């Protein structure tokens, strides 16, 4: 850890905790966006997690902090009312000395401190089907707990994040501009997406017509954003709330399926290895709908398979757009990395189409 970094970490901790409270801190977790540290404290203090929020990724820190604070306070009050443990069942933001739930250092960097959830664990990959089922329970429970939160009170910290038609328009512009001269080589991929243009409007049209309700959505529903009890394996809470925004429940469901029920890697070159695991899909559907406990509308439940397909198509569009523009957004390991990612997503979407009847039947089975 660089000395300069230590200086700012020390200053940030000093903004939240009294002198002498901190013993040590070390890098923590597997996140790639924020800088995260586990803070060990003197006797009489709990452990904490300190994070520097990446302002290069999250431009509107005021809105981000406001969203997280509103949602965590709402959850904490509801958990207490239901007789739960608010220190383990939601994130707990620690107030700085000035009363705010964040601290801005002299360089304009934003820091926050949260209570560490003891005796907990999270997983980066699906190792057991039960873990994926329980993550479905966790994200479904998250939806249910926030079903009566007025989503329009939250700000859209990343504008048009899951506006699939706008993502398609961005792809069309990138292909027309063709700044890298790649467009001719990705004709089949562009044609595949354009052939499904009508579907890209399905969810947003239903939102605008009122057929799908605006919800509080997490927008990063990967397995490693669920905390499990280390002893029982039960879901404790959903973490990493930086992308929490108004959105559609089917997109949170769909992104979890896109990432967790794919038999191949997100950047799998061998497309024969890419497919939708119907077994994992069913496990997640079962857990998600159990967790929601009837809080979704009939239209939301019916559209869950479309949520999975749209999130997969949209991710493929984003990777392909970035490839055409010279890979300026996503980090890459080699020049064709974003193209490989895009092809993998489109292959997964194609397999979903082949299994569409089974996907819909599974949802009906657990609704």
d(CA 121, CA 231): 9
pLDDT truncated to tens, each residue of the chain (367 aa)?
444 568 899 999 999 999 999 999 999 876 667 899 999 999 999 999 999 998 888 889 999 999 999 999 999 999 999 999 999 999 999 999 999 999 999 999 999 999 999 999 998 887 789 999 999 999 999 999 999 999 999 999 988 999 999 999 999 999 999 999 999 999 999 999 999 999 999 999 999 999 999 999 999 999 999 999 999 999 999 999 999 999 999 999 999 999 999 999 999 999 999 999 999 999 999 999 999 999 999 999 999 999 999 999 999 999 999 999 999 988 899 999 999 999 999 999 999 999 999 999 999 999 8
Opening angle at CA 6, ends 35 and 53, nearest 5: 25
Secondary structure letter of residue 241 according to DSSP: -
Within a domain: residue 164?
yes
Note whether 226 and 238 are within 8 A (CB).
yes
Structural domain containing residue 24: 3-118
User: Could you give the C-alpha distances from 92 to 33, 70, 190, in angstroms and in order?
Assistant: 20, 11, 44
The residue among 98, 118, 138 that closes a domain is 118
Within a domain: residue 272?
yes
Which pLDDT score is estimated for 5?
67
Domain match, 182 and 242 both? yes
Domain match, 107 and 192 both? no
Structure tokens belonging to residue 212: 């799908």
Residue 68 CB partners (closer than 8 Å, separation 6+):
91, 93, 101, 241, 242, 244
Which pLDDT score is estimated for 3?
43
Which pLDDT score is estimated for 30?
67
Which pLDDT score is estimated for 79?
98
Domain count, the chain: 2
Domain match, 333 and 286 both? yes
Question: Which residue carries 């024969």 as its tokens?
Answer: 272
Within a domain: residue 124?
no
d(CA 257, CA 253): 7
Within a domain: residue 65?
yes
Which pLDDT score is estimated for 34?
87
Beta strands in the chain (DSSP E): 22-27, 35-41, 48-53, 103-104, 110-115, 120-121, 215-217, 226-229, 235-238, 245-247
Which pLDDT score is estimated for 1?
46
User: pLDDT tens digits for 219-263?
Assistant: 999 999 999 999 999 999 999 999 999 999 999 999 999 999 999
Closest CA to 281 of 164, 361, 162: 361
Handedness of CA 345, 347, 349, 355 (dihedral sign): negative
**Strand ordering across the sheet containing 226-229:** 120-121, 226-229, 235-238
Domain match, 177 and 239 both? yes
Note whether 55 and 110 are within 8 A (CB).
yes
Residue 310: give its domain's CATH number.
3.90.1200.10
The residue among 95, 118, 141 that closes a domain is 118
Domain match, 92 and 172 both? no
User: Could you give the C-alpha distances from 348 to 111, 265, 277, in angstroms and in order?
Assistant: 38, 11, 10
What length is written for the chain? 367
Neighbours of 130 (CB within 10 A): 12
The residue among 118, 145, 168 that closes a domain is 118
Domain match, 63 and 9 both? yes
């Amino acid at each position: 850890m660089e000395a300069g970094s230590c200086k700012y970490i020390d200053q940030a901790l000093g903004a939240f905790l009294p002198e002498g409270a901190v013993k040590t801190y070390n890098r923590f977790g597997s996140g790639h966006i924020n800088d995260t540290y586990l803070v060990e404290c003197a006797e009489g203090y709990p452990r904490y997690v300190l994070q520097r929020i990446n302002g290069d990724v999250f431009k509107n820190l005021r809105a981000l902090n406001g969203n997280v604070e509103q949602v965590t306070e709402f959850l904490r009050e509801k958990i207490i009312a239901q007789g739960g443990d608010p220190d383990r069942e939601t994130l707990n933001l620690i107030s700085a000395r000035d009363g705010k739930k964040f601290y801005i250092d002299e360089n304009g960097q934003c820091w926050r401190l949260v209570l560490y959830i003891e005796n907990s664990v999270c997983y980066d990959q699906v190792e057991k089907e039960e873990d994926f089922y329980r993550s479905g329970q966790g994200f479904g429970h998250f939806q249910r707990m926030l079903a009566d939160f007025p989503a329009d009170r939250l700000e859209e910290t990343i504008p048009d994040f899951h506006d699939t038609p706008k993502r398609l328009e961005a792809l069309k512009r990138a292909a027309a501009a063709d700044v890298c001269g790649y467009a001719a080589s990705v004709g089949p991929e562009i044609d595949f997406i354009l052939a499904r243009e009508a579907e890209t409007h399905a969810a947003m049209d239903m939102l605008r017509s009122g057929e799908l309700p605006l919800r509080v959505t997490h927008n990063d529903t990967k397995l490693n954003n669920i905390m499990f009890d280390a002893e029982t394996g039960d879901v404790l809470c959903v973490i990493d709330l930086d992308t929490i925004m108004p959105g559609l429940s089917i997109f949170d469901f769909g992104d979890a399926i896109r990432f967790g029920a794919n038999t191949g890697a997100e950047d799998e070159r061998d497309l024969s290895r890419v497919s939708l695991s119907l077994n994992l899909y069913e496990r997640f559907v079962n857990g998600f709908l159990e967790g929601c406990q009837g809080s979704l509308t009939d239209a939301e439940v019916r559209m869950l398979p479309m949520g999975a397909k749209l999130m997969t198509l949209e991710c493929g569009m984003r990777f392909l757009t970035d490839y055409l523009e010279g890979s300026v957004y996503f980090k890459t390991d080699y020049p064709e990395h974003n193209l490989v990612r895009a092809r993998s997503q489109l292959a997964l979407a194609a397999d979903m189409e082949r299994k569409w009847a089974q996907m819909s039947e599974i949802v009906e089975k657990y609704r």
